[in-house]
Amino acid sequence: MKASVPGRTYALLLAAIAVCSAGIALLLYATGLMHDTELASVDTRFELRGDEPPRDDIVLVLIDDITSHELPERFPFPRSLHGRVVDAVNRDGAKTIAYDVEFLQQTEEREDIALIDAVANAGPNKVVLADSQPNEEGESGVFGGQDLLDDIKALAGNTQIGEDSDGVRRRVPFEVGKMKTFPLVAAEIASGEEITTSDMGGERAWIDYAGPAETYPAVPFSRVLDGNFEPGTFADKIVVIGASDPTLKDIAQVPIGDDLMSGPEINANAIATALDGFELQSTPLGLDLFLIALMGMLAPLASYRLSPLRALAAAVLAGALYLVSAKLAFDAGRIVPILYPMMALGLSLVGSLVVYYLREAFIRRRVRDTFARFVPEQVVGQVLAQADEDLRLAGRRMEVTVLFSDIRGFTTFSETRDPGEVLEILNRYHEEMTDAVMEHGGTLISFMGDGIYAVFGAPIEQSDHADRALASAREMVERRLPAFNDWMRERGVKDGFQIGIGLNSGPVMAGNIGSRQRMEYTTIGDTVNTAARLEGMTKGSGHSLFIADTTRELLSSADGELTFVDEMAVRGRAEGIRVWAPAA
């Protein structure tokens, strides 16, 4: 009976759930309302991936707490000190020097010249200097202007790489204020190759952090200044120089680890990302939209074919597989969206379950109403309790009493009457006789034109089914039929009707039969066939009711109320049956 509610309507409702769920998730994706949460999922993937070995050609020189303790100077240091550090790492064989300290304003002339000379002496296009305030043309103001930088063949890069809306530095832009960003310039110097937005996969690229703070090796600024480092430390290395002392406030939150990371180390990770070819990329927009739409469809599809628990399990499994796949994709360098597909899946799952249970409630109400037409109201709940999840009554072997009844000569009667009048008369008759069946706890199996097929003892077992069937049959003959004939006489039909009834008890197979489109409850077996034959045998016998010996043996009352008629042959049976009728 599951299919008694139009399958097309159910399918359309589930399709609407899929469209709405995916639509809501896509709308949130487009507007970025849950953007910070999605970004947090990227952080989780970094944590799950764990640390990776940093590039071995990048080393830091940090103005750290050791430097603050060892140097008598306080930041900002005289520029000659910075010049000495540039000289030191250059002499040790540094390949690229990325100086993450701004030198925008002039100081004492000899101090400025000492640093400028050190940068010039390092060699052409070897040093990149930090700049956060380029002019409108993207030209640097370091050392007083772009012209001087060009003369000494030094480069500048914008250090304002920015943070995401939640304050975490996850990405590096191609340029800021028409000036290419600091880590990209450093990577270009180190590799000798120009970096384009096409290389980055867009205007911004994810920084593929190797690990949390202090992953990259570092030497205190004061130790380099004093020459207190192992020779070769900087040989063929990209040396990033900058401040890590928290009091200098060049620190930021990053997507991996709990500690804040210094600006120089963030730049080191960005340089490494560029040198590795920006391997960590977001999936294309089209794929993101497809994944969101797909996850919005999975739960409705599962709900259409599966039970709610199985649909729930399938949706949970699909969600788990998606999360595992997202993690594996991240490990392979691809960032797929997580929040929005999971939101689409969750919304569609909840919606599908709501639709399913509303549908089931509707079906059960409809089935209850349907059963209530054929079984007594007080047993409808028991019938439904026996039904499976498809509201089918499973086949069972049961001991019952079957009742067949028929109106004598109704076909001849109906041939001369108006069809509307015939149906009105027949409906009135069936109403009377149905009440007689139902009031005694019988189940009305079907109407067969003017015939009635009922059973006692199924689908709910009744130990007294024979007594109930006989009481119902006698009521039909002795009270209901006379009342109906009185009604007929009021309509001008003087003779009224005669009926025949056959009762037989025995085993039957009881349950639902039919297709997905139509299903009905019935009983099958020789017991049923014999009851039908007995009803037919009442014609011309002078009796309205024949009772098989199998029924008489089950009666609780004395047999004096019944009289033996004969042992009769029944078509389809090798042996005859003993037949009884109510005593006159």
| Residue 416: predicted pLDDT | 81
User: Quick one: which of 366, 302, 311, 303 has its CA closest to 519?
Assistant: 366
Partners of 252 in the beta sheet? Answer: 261
197 — pLDDT class (breaks 50, 70, 90): very high
Asked whether residue 350 carries a pLDDT value surpassing 80, the answer given is: yes
3-state secondary structure of 506: strand
Q: Is the CB of residue 526 less than 8 Å from the CB of residue 506?
A: yes
Cα–Cα dist 41/346, whole Å: 17
| pLDDT, tens only, 29-40 | 999 989 999 999
Q: β-strands 562-568, 545-548: how paired?
A: unpaired
* CATH number of domain containing 448: 3.30.70.1230
Same domain, 357 and 380: no
DSSP state at residue 6: -
Same domain, 270 and 288: no
Same domain, 269 and 287: no
| Residue 377: predicted pLDDT | 56
Same domain, 444 and 574: yes
Task: Say if 409 falls within a structural domain.
Answer: yes
Asked whether residue 388 carries a pLDDT value surpassing 90, the answer given is: no
**Quick one: tokens of 427?**
């409906």
Same domain, 200 and 120: yes
Cis preceding linkage at 459, omega within 30: yes
Asked whether residue 491 carries a pLDDT value surpassing 90, the answer given is: no
| Residue 440: predicted pLDDT | 93
- Mean pLDDT of the 316-340 span: 96
Partners of 579 in the beta sheet? Answer: 548, 566
459 — pLDDT class (breaks 50, 70, 90): confident
Cα–Cα distances (Å) from 185 to 156, 240, 364, in that order, read 7, 12, 71
**Quick one: tokens of 261?**
């990371």
For residue 397, the tally of other CB atoms under 10 A from its CB is 10
Count up the domains in the chain and report the number. Answer: 3
Same domain, 84 and 26: no
**Quick one: tokens of 376?**
């007594």
Give the chain's count of helices (H) and strands (E). 20, 22
Task: Say if 51 falls within a structural domain.
Answer: no
- Mean pLDDT of the 451-471 span: 92
**Quick one: tokens of 469?**
């069937």
Same domain, 436 and 547: yes
- Mean pLDDT of the 513-541 span: 84
pLDDT over 90 percentage in the chain: 76
- How long a stretch of residues is the chain? 584
Task: Say if 258 falls within a structural domain.
Answer: yes
553-580 burial code (b ≥16 CB/10 A, e <16): ebbeeeeeebeebeebebeeeeeebebb
Q: Is the CB of residue 139 less than 8 Å from the CB of residue 146?
A: yes
Same domain, 219 and 287: no
| pLDDT, tens only, 497-513 | 999 999 999 999 987 77
Query: Beta-strand (E) ranges in 135-237?
Result: 155-158, 171-173, 175-176, 179-180, 204-206, 218-220
Cα–Cα dist 462/291, whole Å: 57
| pLDDT, tens only, 538-571 | 998 889 999 999 999 999 875 558 999 999 888 8
Cα–Cα dist 17/10, whole Å: 11
- Mean pLDDT of the 211-240 span: 97
| Residue 367: predicted pLDDT | 63
Q: Is the CB of residue 440 less than 8 Å from the CB of residue 473?
A: no
Cα–Cα dist 182/131, whole Å: 8
272-301 burial code (b ≥16 CB/10 A, e <16): bbbbeebebbbeeeeebbebbbbbbbbbbb
Q: Which residue has the higher pLDDT, 376 or 427?
A: 427
Give pairs for 281-290: CB < 8 Å, separation 24+: 281/201, 281/205, 281/206, 281/333, 281/334, 281/335, 282/201, 282/206, 282/334, 282/335, 283/329, 283/334, 283/335, 283/336, 283/337, 287/336, 288/29, 288/336, 288/337, 288/340, 289/26, 289/29
Query: Beta-strand (E) ranges in 174-223?
Result: 175-176, 179-180, 204-206, 218-220
| Residue 256: predicted pLDDT | 95
3-state secondary structure of 459: coil
Cα–Cα dist 437/43, whole Å: 71
Task: Say if 371 falls within a structural domain.
Answer: no
Same domain, 324 and 190: no
Same domain, 541 and 483: yes
4 — pLDDT class (breaks 50, 70, 90): very low
pLDDT over 70 percentage in the chain: 91
Task: Say if 370 falls within a structural domain.
Answer: no
Longest Cα–Cα distance in the chain: 140
Same domain, 547 and 499: yes
- Mean pLDDT of the 324-342 span: 96
The domain boundary residue, chosen from 220, 248, 275: 275
| pLDDT, tens only, 355-375 | 888 877 776 676 666 555 555
Cis preceding linkage at 264, omega within 30: no
Domain encompassing residue 17: 2-46+283-365
The domain boundary residue, chosen from 251, 275, 299: 275
The domain boundary residue, chosen from 332, 365, 398: 365
Secondary structure (DSSP) of 335-381: E---HHHHHHHHHHHHHHHHHHHHHHHHHHHHHHHHHHTTS-HHHHH
Q: Average pLDDT, whole number, for the chain?
A: 90
Q: Is the CB of residue 345 less than 8 Å from the CB of residue 299?
A: yes
| pLDDT, tens only, 159-184 | 999 999 999 999 999 999 999 999 99
Same domain, 254 and 399: no
Task: Say if 550 falls within a structural domain.
Answer: yes
DSSP state at residue 284: P
| Residue 95: predicted pLDDT | 97
3-state secondary structure of 566: strand
2 — pLDDT class (breaks 50, 70, 90): very low
Task: Say if 33 falls within a structural domain.
Answer: yes
Cα–Cα dist 72/36, whole Å: 43
Cα–Cα dist 336/176, whole Å: 27
Query: Beta-strand (E) ranges in 435-479?
Result: 443-448, 451-456
3-state secondary structure of 406: strand
Angle (CA) 137 146 116, round 5°: 155
Task: Say if 389 falls within a structural domain.
Answer: yes
| Residue 147: predicted pLDDT | 94
Cα–Cα dist 368/382, whole Å: 11
